[in-house]
Amino acid sequence: MKHLIEFIETNNVRKTVIFEHLKCNKEEAQLLQYICKRYVSGLEDVAVLEWLKEHFDSENYLYLHKLGLVKKLLDLGWIIQMSFGQVKAHESSKLELLSASVTPSIALLRLLEEGSLEITLPEVKPYTDHLEYLQDQFDMVALLHKIATFKQSFADNSLSIGRLKNKLILLTRRIEERVKMTKTPIDIEVFFTEKGLDEKEKRIFLALLKEEYSGGEGLFRDMNTLIELISFDEYEKIKNRALLEDGARLIAEKIIDYEEILNMFGGVSRSFYLEDEVMQRIIHPKKKKKVAKLKLGELIEEQDIFEYLKPKTNLDDVVLNAKTRETLENVIKQVDKSVFAKLKKWGIKENRKGIDARIIFYGVAGTGKTMTAVSLAKTLKRPILSFDCSKILSMYIGESEKNVRKIFDDFKELSKKAKVEPILLLNEADQFLSSRTEGTGSSADKMHNQMQNIFLEQIEKFEGILIATTNLLGNIDKAFSRRFNYKIEFKKPAKKQRLRLWQVMLPEGADYEESFDITALTHYELTGGQINLIIKNTAYKVAVREESVFANKDFLEEIEKELGSNFEGAKSMGFKVK
């Protein structure tokens, strides 16, 4: 405690060891000396007004002119304001400080105890293993976070930030020197070189790795926190977001990935994490995985039951009825931690944190059922496997029942091998869902009923997200209806929705007659699939003309053909916002 005693007993604060570290003038240092004397006497906080009156003349209110000294010491971080025994942010107005009380900050107490705030690093030696290396790197991440925290403060923390930056420079140099001295290659450094990561990407990686090792509450998983670690101003924050967007190297090369989580404000935030294979390599560099993780796409190519659909749109891109969107958003909210905690408390869910939903999408063809299912998968960052239910019919008695079980058994096996939880989409599921036959003894009817019973049993046991699409719901068996907890109708779009569909589907780069009136096209009750088909057919017709200009009559001719035909129009995956 020699530095503290020297500081509070001296008559000349300029000659004390800690004066040069205070970065303030003699008058400011004397005020600090006073508050430190009070502090060691057991008086934790000091009233600013009492403090100033004791040191400066009250005549002509001279002490009011010295409020700037208090403000300066607050900004430097040597003192902090107190309110009812708790620390509070200091006020921006100097006059408001008259009613305040202050106490020494942790930084000042540490300086008085140690005589310096400069970092003292141990002797530079080679790393003996990757854990020593990680400890230094994690210290660097902690420093970066501390700098970012100071920057977000309203106070002028330039002095504290300067000190932290000096520590950061020293620690960075130390890591570089130790790496050069280490003869055995450090696996993480080798990994960085292999992937060609730059300094910012390395820092993001190390922050996520620190989170894995510490088992923290997800501080360094948040997108904004990660960006703060690698940005020094607002412009850089905007620019650096690209490092964590889809298509960025870290995500594209499957080094990191993210989950989208609903936050308390109703928005969706991203929580990042390191991919399993990368974690295995870093945490256990000497241990080789016995079983490699197989990619779902490669597994699908080896079988002929499922189609692997690759989403290009999310739910925000799809024109949906407001009620439909609300229902789907409620499904998504199951990933929210607070929602899961409630469901678990009520006994509705056990330890499975994934979404459990069995959904029926029903409505006429072309209303976007399949596309909505695929877009839901993209929103949830899940793969989606589609099965065409017409494949299940078999000429042989007993084969269809086996095929029903095979659908679900193969789906589970693929999910297990790829270590993912895909969405299962059962397209055109009318024959599964229709009412079972009663009072007939034909072998075909018995087979059909048996097939439905097995299907019913499999749905009951299914964990995850299952979506069945059908054109009609009226003939659905009541037993099936009870098994599906969401039944969402896809109605033909209303006039307002039809206008939106025409607007987003019409070719952007095309020429239109001056008299072209898009609202005239919205009078016809068409589905999104029909509008898509009509636009394509019209485009083929207009493209062969020498003057390829679209007119209302071109579309009206195709509309008349479509509505006058006996067909529902070509099958469509749905419709999207460009």
What letter would DSSP give residue 172? Answer: H
Q: What pLDDT is attached to residue 203?
A: 92
Q: What's the average model confidence in pLDDT over 360-371?
A: 86
Higher pLDDT, 240 or 55: 240
Residue 465: closest CA among 364, 374, 340, 403: 374
Predicted confidence (pLDDT) per residue in 463-484, tens digit: 888 998 888 766 677 777 788 8
Residue 423 φ/ψ, nearest 5 degrees: -85, 135
- Check pLDDT > 50 for residue 569: no
Residue 533: closest CA among 569, 508, 507: 569
Q: Tokens 């403000």 label which residue? A: 71
Predicted confidence (pLDDT) per residue in 101-153, tens digit: 888 887 788 888 877 665 555 677 898 888 889 988 998 898 888 888 877 66
CATH topology for 2-114?
Arc Repressor Mutant, subunit A (1.10.10)
Predicted confidence (pLDDT) per residue in 169-224, tens digit: 888 888 888 899 998 888 899 999 999 999 999 999 999 998 888 765 567 888 88
Residue 558: closest CA among 502, 484, 488: 502
Q: What pLDDT is attached to residue 87?
A: 47
Query: What's the pTM?
Result: 0.49
β-strand partners of 512: 550
CA distance 300 to 387: 12
Q: What pLDDT is attached to residue 50?
A: 83
Rounded to a whole number, what is the distance in angstroms from the first to the last CA of the chain? 69
Token pair in block for residue 346: 């009520």
296-320+337-489 CATH: 3.40.50.300
CA distance 466 to 155: 53
Mean of pLDDT over the chain: 80
Long-range contacts of the stretch 282-289 (C-beta < 8 A, 24+): 282/130, 282/187, 282/188, 282/191, 282/209, 283/212, 285/130, 285/187
pLDDT band at 565 (very low <50, low <70, confident <90, very high): low
* Buried residues in 26-38 as b, exposed as e (16+ CB within 10 A): eebbebbbebbeb
Q: What is the largest CA-CA distance in the chain?
A: 112
Predicted confidence (pLDDT) per residue in 483-526, tens digit: 888 888 888 888 888 898 899 899 988 999 999 999 999 999 89
DSSP code string of 424-484: EEEES-HHHHBPPP-S---HHHHHHHHHHHHHHHHHHH--SEEEEEES--TTB-HHHHHH-
Residue 398 φ/ψ, nearest 5 degrees: 95, -25
R_g over Cα of the chain: 34
Domain boundaries of the chain, sorted by first residue: 2-114, 130-283, 296-320+337-489, 495-564
pLDDT band at 232 (very low <50, low <70, confident <90, very high): confident
CA distance 304 to 499: 40
CA distance 385 to 112: 65
Q: What pLDDT is attached to residue 92?
A: 55
The domain 495-564 is placed in CATH, from the list 2.40.160.20, 1.10.8.60, 3.50.50.60, 1.20.210.10, at 1.10.8.60
Q: What's the average model confidence in pLDDT over 42-50?
A: 82
Residue 388 φ/ψ, nearest 5 degrees: -85, 110
- Check pLDDT > 60 for residue 266: no
Helix (H, G, I), strand (E, B) or coil at 88: strand
Q: What pLDDT is attached to residue 396?
A: 47
Of 74-88, 316-330, 423-437, where does mean pLDDT reach its minimum? 74-88
Q: What's the average model confidence in pLDDT over 434-446?
A: 66
pLDDT band at 550 (very low <50, low <70, confident <90, very high): very high
Q: Tokens 């995500």 label which residue? A: 251
Close Cβ partners of 106 (under 8 Å, ≥ 6 residues apart): none
CA distance 111 to 6: 12
* Buried residues in 237-256 as b, exposed as e (16+ CB within 10 A): eeebeebbeeebebbeeebb
CA 399 to each of CA 388, 424, 444, 445: distance values in angstroms, whole numbers, following the listed order: 16, 22, 12, 14
Q: What pLDDT is attached to residue 512?
A: 94
- Check pLDDT > 90 for residue 539: yes
pLDDT band at 437 (very low <50, low <70, confident <90, very high): low
pLDDT band at 574 (very low <50, low <70, confident <90, very high): very low
